[in-house]
Structure 1
Amino acid sequence: MAVNTGVPLPALQQLQLHDGNLPNGVDDPTSLIGQLSPKRTSQKTLVKRHNAHLKTQEAASTSDNDPRPVKQVILSEAYPACCKSLRELEAIPLASLKVETHHRGQMVIVKAVTAAYRGVGSVSVAVDAAGDADKLAIYNHSDTSLLSNLPAGCVVAVKEPYYKRNDGMSASDYMICVDHPSDVILLRFDDPLVPEELQLSAVDRAALDKTPEEWRSTGDLAFLQRDLPTAAFCYTEALVSKEEKTASFTAGIYAKRAGVNLLLGRYDGARDDALASCTGNAATDWRAYFTAAKATYGLCHYEESRKYFEKALQTQKSVSPTVDAALQREYNRCLARVREETEGTDDAYDFPAMYSSLSLQKNQVHLDRGSFLRKTQVRHSDFHGNGLFAVEDIAVGDLVFVEKAAFMPNQYFEPTRASAALYATMVRQMCDNPSVAAEVLQPLYGGELERTGKEGEIVDGVPVVDVFLAETIRLKNCFSAPLSTLDDTRPETGPYQERALAKGLWKYASYLNHSCVPNTMRSFLGDVLISRAIRPIKKGDELFQQYIPVKADVRARQAELQAGWGFVCQCPLCQTETTEAAQAGHAHRRSLLMAAEKLASKHLPHRFPPDSAVRTMEKLSKQMVASYDEAGEVYGDGQPRLGLVYPTMWLLRAHRCRKRHAKVAQYAEQTLRCFGFGKPEVDGGPASMYSQPGGPLHTVHVVSALVMGREAHRALGQTKEAEAFDAAGKLGFRMVTGFSEDVKAINEEEGK
């Protein structure tokens, strides 16, 4: 999957341009749906209005590098991307376009007659062969594409055009709206599909009638000016020119375009061009293999990258005994990724070094690491669709898998902005790399959205990218991630912005089905997801994770899962809590919990609450324990009693601040019991607590209770018990954070 992560993006925005008036006699714009526009605006008027907006934009612009906003995706208005080639579509004139209609099986061919207004998309005025004009709005294109800033004079074919009223404007303001980036194709000037009326004038044709050498020179100039999309375009024109070219000239152009594609993050194209530039001459071929190696590295295909690096080294050696230092350095970096992928050990990853390298201020959130997936396999799940299964036994605390994000912007925002950034990153990277589009759009779960089955396939030279499907895949599969889970476990002392989350998509992790009492736990270091076993896993077992933090109220968490993912959880805890015996005391437990929460809101447990508050909380806790006991065997050993967590943790902290060590030890054990665990065995080893039967739930609160229990037993002189709590706490913290066993800071707030 692609490594590059795009540019900063602000909140979701809708494009709203140009003024207009309701046509005479039209009071209800919806009455025009499916009808021809009752009034067409002339090309002269459209161009005049458009140029006025361009001047306004030019005056307000501060930098060409300003972040590009993205268009909001409204799933209720979803429609599929066109999967047909241009040769299968009927060309129609602009005058035939019907309001709020998708013209299936048809296309329009138009020429841009203005520069593009760049906002949420690229908006131009375009004309057809009949001389009619309309606004053309192209959304969701990568900044590496000329179509993200369509130059005047370019001719495009819009597949199955959607003709709509400009949102927020009057009923007479229409435009061709291109949501799917693969629905618009840039046509070459000599393409037979271009009507004679849109072909270049003799003067313009002469200006573009360049020799391959002239196209190469123009591309070189664009490269020096850092206009990489134009450079790639010019090199392509040099290659497709019908003039005779030598093999060495062609190879040189492929090499140049490979280098440009590599810089643009078009890794598929960079690899293909690099290999096409090979001539059998060792003096140049080593550079081709070097570029191919870096391109496949960018796609995170490290084993393939290693082979190209080795070819580059072998070829370079035949030319010179001195191996280029940069080549050797990049090769060693690739070998480190291969080791991570194959070994999957803590030593191979060096998680502490990864943690130390993170920096939100310096945008160092994308870690150069490989994905270790060897212990698991995607298979059909009896629970829900596909799932992830263990292919070998995995011990408590061991790595299940480690995965680098397929997509994750380097911004940590509030949820709406983070979602917009992830969506834009996904779409733009899939446009740039067809192999990425196929790996995401075809296999990943996208809810009930109808698919054509051709998403991700190459049609007319570009991958079919359905933006609505991309958004549903994002909604169903993305994770919210802190910069590091280790820092996220510390007391929340800074402002919200410092603790904002990123949104990312980890393709492999998304195959895990949900359980409220899972057997794996995920953590994050930048864009790397770490999954560890939190109980013994046998070969063939399905692996589960939590989609959301588990609420004590089974009805509330089932409603959240139903709303977000459309399923009813059937995990052991949910099956227990939906039984008649468990539900009998639900209302009573809920009222007791509400009373406990109300009391706790008045008295923070680590701020020396009065003894009267402690006594009241103990009374509420005992009543809740009795309510669970009345449910009989359904809440036996290993079954969490989540309603008890809040009052029990409050009491644990309240007694800790008073240094009532015996009480702390008592409530530490009770907290563990609330999550379904027994206390750590003195002679059983740290994994014994997590290897108990049933369906216990591991969270950072379990670790907090273990740390406080260790302190209490140590103060009481119970050394062996303290050591057992300490070992279990360190192992538990490693499962929570992904790597760290340093639990010193986890309860620092309670100690103040």
Structure 2
Amino acid sequence: MENLQEMLAAIRGLPSAEYASERSGLPSAEHASERFDKRALVQLHEMFARSHANVGAEPGVALCMSVAEPSAPSVALRGLRSIRVRDLRVGRTHRGRVLYGTLCVNPFKISGVMTLLEDDHGFAVRVAIYNVAQAASLSCIYPQGAKVAIKEPYFKRALDGSLAVRVENPDNLQRVADFPAEIREPVVAAVDLEEERSKGNECFRKQDWHGAVIHYTNCINAARLEINDAAARNRILLAYSNRAETRLQLGEFERALEDCNEGLGIKPGHIKTLYRKGRALHGLTNYDQACEVLQNALELCPWRPEIEAALHLSKALSAQSRRGKYDISDFLLGRRPPAEVADFVGDLEIKMTKDSRGRGLFATKNINTGELFLVSNAVAVALPDDRAVMSLQFDHRGNINTSSQENLVAAVIDAANKSQKLLPRLYALDDGSAQACASVPAMELFQTDTNCQETKVPVDVNRIRDIIVRNAFGGAVQTYTDRITAAAEKLASNEGFSGLWLLPSFINHSCLPNTTRLDVGNAMFLHASKPIKKGEEISICYFDTLVPFPQREVICQAWGFKCNCKRCRLENFLKPSLRHLHAQFEALHDKALEETNAAKTAGEEFPADLPKSAEFAEVYEKLEQTLAKFRKMKEEEKNWVRASFVSAYWAGIQSNEFFPKTLEDPIPSGDEILQAVVSTVPGDVRTFVMAAKQVEGLKHWVGSEGWAVQYSATQARDACIRVFGNHGEHVIQALISAHAQCAMF
């Protein structure tokens, strides 16, 4: 179904397009759009909006615009010639032209933001704006009555036959009052300066940041005519300062800094503006400069608690960025949400891999187990509150959910439109081009407090989309079953979100990783899960690797690469010998999982009567019998294979029937299984859960004393450090107690 109204009708039994038009007396969307009939288009828009409100944002419900024309980078308004609605040509991107008009309806969003624009001749056109960040308030960004400019408009026919302007990059649709110099609009002397400032203040109180920017800008432009008047200069100062605050609220730190500098040029010691400049520098991660400005403000006006708090935070983050010392214990123990943290880059370098896989991240000194070597805040994230829409979702083959990917694209574009400092860093990531893969960016580009050369790099939507496809991370790496127990999930990660991180994007995958990733809010913490030697490549798991080789191979293919680690080479060699076990694993895994979950729901105590789990565990018994035939295989290599089938063992130990039939049956002990997984994926949270359970189990049966308890406690402590990094002893013990309550399978 290509028509929007027909899709809505199919989903909720609403009237079709023709029927709706007949009942309302309106022409079809196609006819109304071809005549640029404002009245009819407004009524159709409102009808669509009501239908959408009834349906909700369900997948596939959208103004179907077919395939978008390749997106051109956003260009400056200066030099573009205006074009009227009636002069738009179907199927054309109007290069060098700009469409001015007024938004004449309240917007609504399906896959794109839908609105209407009326030009100064009274003709209207539908506008579909894509890649708009989810967090944005549409009524504030695209309010009815706002004057806008659409740069180089792309005019096309949608699948329902109607005509519309498609805006691929939201930065190509700009509120005119934001850029008075570029559009060369004359300043109207009759503007009441105090009234404009009051309107700006009212918008500010309502948290209508975009509206506040409009009115403060009008005030600044009009006041320039009276620049020699002391009262007018004071109004300009206050307008610059207040506009800086609105831009801080919008996350536009570079523009906020510009406004602060303009205001301080009028009155260098203005306290509020100094305070706001310090916060703008903080937002740009220029922590040392922020400290200088905030210290200056505090000396001019002591006992201002908000300035003291901002200075304290900037000092703390400056220290974090230099020393790499963080206290995240309250977050790990579930006591409070994650606090803001600074980026930290340890002794690392980007260089080409020796086996021609492209670029990678390498250690420039030895790194000990548990040592933190990289903290990176996300460029943009899709948050778990909107998980069904926002998070990068992968199916069992590792394919990325397209709709969620597009929402992340929107969030990254939003961040890029706000920061020229970001774009050179963003464009250093792999976008699939030969040039990107062959170039090695300098590490200084990614250092905090580095004054990157800010060039006017255009925001290229298609290039950003390619970067996200190749570099985006989902939430914390999920297990094969997409389930980590609720307690571990709460403690170990803020699972559910997806996002784009800069330096971590250079880290390659390995099924024998040496690094653990920990998500703390929007920041990614990376520490060594085993000793890393100087010159060794940093590696992580892109997905759950505690599964047999065929499953890993399929997921790697979906990601577009082949893992050539020692473990994969070994299991590829063993593939013919293990083929029957691979098939049984695939057939029994989900059945055993369903049985175990049903037992948990019923409140059964483990071990329980779980025949499917016991049958699944037989796969592990057969694996041991097969491995015994390879007498020349090293024990470490056997452990890699055991780790691939470990979920069969974990399922089996929850069943009453999982016992060797004779003393000679080759069933490894729990400690041997733990060592097998640790030698393969040392930072996997399930190794910690298993170790913690062993400690609590031994304490229950033999008490707190004895060598066995001490040995298990040491194993659990080591596992905690591999998973969560180095922390105080009280934190480690609290984490051990919490994870002992988690389920393995």
TM range (shorter): 0.7 to 0.9
Query: For 1:250, what is the secondary structure of its paired residue?
Result: helix
Return the match for 2:154 from 155, 162, 187.
162
Task: Quote the offset at 1:610 in angstroms.
Answer: 6.5
Q: Does 2:260 correspond to 1:265?
A: no
Partner of 2:7: none
Give the distance between the partners of 1:155 and 1:712, measured in 2 at CA.
67
1:312 aligns with 2:297: yes
For residues 16 and 86 of structure 2, what CA distance do their matches in structure 1 show?
Answer: 20
Percent identity, aligned pairs only? 17
Instruction: Deviation per CA, 1:213-268: give whole Å up to 9, x if none.
Output: 55445434544554432221222233334514135543333222212222333222
State the distance in 1 between where 2:489 and 2:429 align. Answer: 37
Give the letter aligned to residue 640 of structure 2: P
Q: 2:17 and 2:221 mapped to 1: Cα distance?
A: 43
1:375 maps to 347
| 1:720 aligned residue | 707
For 1:57 and 1:81, the matched residues in 2 are separated by: 29
C-alpha distance 262-299 of structure 1, shift in aligned 2 (>3 A): same
Map of 1:680 onto structure 2: none
Matched residue SS, 1:175: strand
SS of the equivalent of 1:123 reads strand
1:390 to 355, 363, 368: 363
1:236 corresponds to which letter in structure 2?
A: T
**How many aligned positions are there?**
658
2:227 corresponds to: 245
Structure 1 equivalent of residue 686 of structure 2: 701
Give per-residue Cα distances to partners, 1:3-23, cap 9 Å, x unaligned: xxxxxxxxxx9xx999689xx
Provide closer, same or farther for how the CA distance between residues 355 and 287 of structure 1 changes in structure 2, counting only shifts above 3 A.
farther
Structure 1: 5+ residue stretches without partners: 1-12, 22-36, 317-321, 359-364, 454-460, 678-694
Q: Which aligned pairs between 1:102-251 and structure 2 lie closer than 5 A?
A: 102-103=92-93, 105-112=95-102, 114-120=104-110, 121-127=113-119, 133-141=124-132, 143=136, 148-149=141-142, 151-152=144-145, 154=147, 156-159=149-152, 161-167=153-159, 169=160, 171=161, 173-187=162-176, 209-210=190-191, 212=193, 215-224=196-205, 226-241=207-222, 243-246=225-228, 247-251=233-237
- Partner residue of 1:425? 411
Quote how far apart the aligned CAs of 1:704 are: 3.8
Q: Secondary structure at the match of 1:731?
A: helix
Deviations 1:585-618 (A, max 9, x none): 1313324545764895697597445799999777
- Cα distance in 2 between the residues matched to 1:239 and 1:220: 14
Judge which range, 499-508 or 533-542, deviates more: 499-508
**1:622, CA displacement in angstroms?**
4.0
Residue type of the alignment partner of 1:744:
S
1:329 maps to a residue whose letter is A
Q: Is the 8 A contact 1:103 1:162 kept in 2?
A: yes
Task: Indicate conservation of the 8 Å contact 1:341/1:371, yes or no.
Answer: yes
Separation (CA, whole Å) in 2 of partners of 1:708 and 1:402: 30
Q: 1:587/1:394 Cα in 2 relative to 1: closer, same or farther (>3 Å)?
A: same
Q: CA deviation at 1:655?
A: 7.5
SS at match of 2:391: helix
1:679-690 matches, cutoff 5 A: none
- TM-superposition CA deviations, 1:314-345 (whole Å, max 9, x none): 443xxxxx432321122112222222222223
Q: Which string of whole-angstrom CA distances, capped at 9 and with x for unpartnered residues, describes residues 184-230 of structure 1? A: 344469979989xxx99xxxx97x84265554454345445544322
Correspondence for 2:556 among 555, 561, 574: 561
CA contact (8 A) 2:244 2:256 kept: yes
2:409 and 2:464 in contact (8 A); partners too:
yes
Matching residue within 274, 285, 294 for 2:260: 274
TM-score, normalization by structure 1: 0.73
SS in 1 for 2:519: strand
522, 536, 542: which one aligns with 2:537: 542
Counterpart Cα distance in 2 of 1:534 and 1:73: 48
Q: 1:519: Cα distance to partner?
A: 0.4
2:288 aligned residue: 303
Distance 2:666 2:742 in 1: 16
Shift of 1:180: 0.8
Task: Give the residue type in structure 1 aligned to 2:551.
Answer: A
Residue in structure 2 matched with residue 476 of structure 1 by the alignment: 470
Shift of 1:181: 1.4
- The secondary structure found in structure 2 opposite 1:109 is strand
Cα distance per residue 1:53-99 (max 9 Å; x no partner):
4488589989xxx99x9989999646223354445656555455443
Instruction: Assess if the C-alpha contact under 8 Å between 2:132 and 2:410 holds in 1.
Output: no
Name which structure has the greater RCO, CA cutoff 8 Å, separation 6+. 1
Distance 2:420 2:257 in 1: 12
